[in-house]
Amino acid sequence: MPTILRINGWRFVIYVNDHPPAHIHVLGPGWSVVINVADQVIVREVVGPCAEHDARKAQALAADHQQVLLAAWEEIHG
């Protein structure tokens, strides 16, 4: 599970054996947020006790870095 970015103590990761569509997992303390990064940057799933403002912040950060995250997905998954 390569870490693509580290921001605010959160890890933005892509699982090597994951499935389309292109998405990332943002790992925070005791929670994770799955965010699609292919076209629109959309929160797809929240796992664990993640505050709503943290999920929104993770989405905004993913949008800010969408090109880097999508390029990493394409490099890993082809």
**What's the confidence (pLDDT) of residue 46?**
99
Q: Pairing state of beta strands 42-47 and 31-36? A: antiparallel
**What's the confidence (pLDDT) of residue 77?**
96
Residue 21 belongs to domain spanning: 3-77
- Overall domain count for the chain: 1
Residue numbers in the chain where pLDDT is lower than 50: none
Nearest Cα to Cα of residue 19 among 44, 49, 52: 44
pLDDT in tens, 54-69: 999 999 999 999 999 9
**What's the confidence (pLDDT) of residue 1?**
81
Residue length of the chain: 78
